[in-house]
Structure 1
Amino acid sequence: MTGLRERKRARTHAAISEAAIALFLERGFDEVSVAQVAEAAEVSKRTLFAYFPAKEDLVVHRFADHETEAARVVLARPPDAGPLAALRDHFLDGLRRRDPITGLNDVPEILALTRMVVEAPALRTRMIRFQEASERALAEALQDTAGVPALTARLAATQVVGVHWLLSMDNSRALLGGQSADERCPAAVADAGHAFALLSEGLAAHL
């Protein structure tokens, strides 16, 4: 019974999300109300809020798996790999795989979602909370595995997450401006290498 209940919840969650994203992309995030999303998904507003506490969560949850991604990379790195090197390699691999979180993905549906996040003030504000959660998780992972003091871990996490975000936004803006992912890729890889080199020079004594 528990498995059936969880599957039903997952289907409802997916249905609400898909209805919301379709409406947002068609009409604009600010032009669609929660009531309209609930109607399109054939659920009550109360049910919708049980799954998504805020309107912004209907979009940001698409990035939920990435919120603790940097922390997971640090925790899962090989014993002989430093945290910063592991994070750099993971980001570069994401560029090669065209992972949407790197901003280097020009699939039309993903690009449209990226444009919405970039252009909607409420979503940009919500992404700040996403970044803060990423920083906290990464700081904890650095403390646990790199043996650095709490302040050092927090400062390092803030810099790393900030660099990730800046690189991703630069890539997204390039693609939204008309470049293809393949055209942008060499510059994206070069920018990432430069950014992590700067981080390494500043953090090498600790990480």
Structure 2
Amino acid sequence: MTEGMGLRERKKRETRRRLLETATRLFSERGFDQVSVAEIADAADVSKMTVFNYFDSKEDLVFAPLEEHVGDAARIVRERAPGESAVAALRRQFVAAVERHDPAVGMGDSPVALGIVRLILETPALLTRAHSYFVRTQDQLTEALIEEGEEPVIARIVASQLLGTRNALLTENRRRLLAGEPAAAVVPDAVALAHRGFDLLEKGLGDYATRT
């Protein structure tokens, strides 16, 4: 039974990966608006219904990997170790993600990951949805800080600065990968830059950065 479940899960993951790769390739070749879900299904050798079993919309074929990380910042703050500040927790997580080449911090250099980034940057409608992703991430982080007793306005200011630093670092990582540098070559500089960025953030936030 366990082996059977394992096989089904592997097949589901493979189908999902194939759909993402196929959609990204078609979008890159012809543009997001010029590709239909039916064409993606045909190219991936599945039914249109199968596509919708995995993704609610065509846009989700682009954003599904990103949606998995909307709540990351808030979760990291909520689950941080006793005595660790929110800034320190986000620094620790970001550096660790850079070192393991995580696409969530701009370090994914696979064709699919880079194709998704290029597609979003080149498609106005997708850029708009990407902005809503950032807003939701900030809202959730703000709520996590409010839960700890911070007043709402200050919580939003702090969340904005935390995510602003994180996104600036992420954007630089993506810039270098899109320019053709392999993730492994970027890691040392990305780690050093992350520490510089979070150092500046700690100075800017003052005693808030040491709050636990």
Classify the TM-score, shorter chain: 0.7 to 0.9
Query: How far apart are 1:181 and its partner, in Å?
Result: 1.4
In structure 2, the CA distance between the partners of 1:74 and 1:182, relative to structure 1 (3 Å rule), is: same
User: For 1:83-98, what aligned pairs fall within 5 Å after superposition?
Assistant: 83-98=86-101
What secondary structure is seen at the aligned counterpart in 1 of 2:156?
helix
Is 1:128 the counterpart of 2:131? The answer is yes
From the superposition, tell whether residues 143 and 28 of structure 1 become closer, same or farther in structure 2 (CA, over 3 Å): same
What code does the residue aligned with 1:144 have? E
- The corresponding residue for 1:171 is 173
Q: Which whole-Å CA distance do the structure 2 matches of 1:49 and 1:189 have between them?
A: 39
Contact preservation (8 Å) 1:56, 1:122: no
Counterpart among 117, 120, 129 of residue 117 in structure 1: 120
Q: Residue 61 in 1 paired to residue 98 in 2?
A: no
2:141 is aligned with 1:138: yes
Judge conservation of contact 2:20–2:112 (CA < 8 Å) in 1: no
Deviations 1:5-50 (A, max 9, x none): xx99x95x93765653343244332331345346655226xx8499
The question of 1:82 aligning with 2:85 is answered yes
* Corresponding letter in the other structure for 1:185: V
Shift of 1:144: 1.5
Aligned pairs for 1:41-60 within 5 A: 41-43=46-48, 48=52, 51-53=55-57, 55-60=58-63
> Could you list the runs of 5+ residues in structure 1 that have no partner in the other structure?
1-6
Cα root mean square deviation, aligned: 2.9
Equivalent residue runs for 1:3-18 within 5 Å? 14=16, 17=20
Cα distance change on mapping 1:205 and 1:72 into 2, 3 Å: same
- Residue 116 (structure 1) shift: 1.9
TM-score where L is the length of structure 2: 0.79
Runs of 4+ deviating beyond 4 Å: 15-19, 38-41
State the match for 1:4 in structure 2: none
Q: Does residue 163 of structure 2 align to residue 158 of structure 1?
A: no
Residues 73 and 90, structure 2, Cα contact 8 Å, conserved in 1: yes
Larger mean CA deviation between 35-44 and 90-99 belongs to: 35-44
1:183 — aligned with what?
A: 185
- Report the TM-score when normalising by structure 1: 0.81
Q: Classify the secondary structure of the residue corresponding to 2:82.
A: coil
Query: Which whole-Å CA distance do the structure 2 matches of 1:182 and 1:19 have between them?
Result: 26
2:204 alignment counterpart: 202
- Out of 178, 186, 193, the residue aligned to residue 195 of structure 2 is 193
The alignment covers a number of residue pairs equal to: 198
Task: List gaps (5 residues or longer) in structure 2.
Answer: 1-7
Tell me the residue number matched to 1:3: none
Q: How far off its partner does 1:75 sit?
A: 0.7
> For residues 105 and 58 of structure 1, do their structure 2 counterparts lie closer, same or farther at Cα, with a shift above 3 Å needed?
closer
SS at match of 2:98: helix
Post-superposition offset of 1:171: 0.9
Say if 1:73 and 1:86, in contact at 8 Å, map to a contact too.
yes
Determine the structure 1 residue equivalent to 2:110: 107
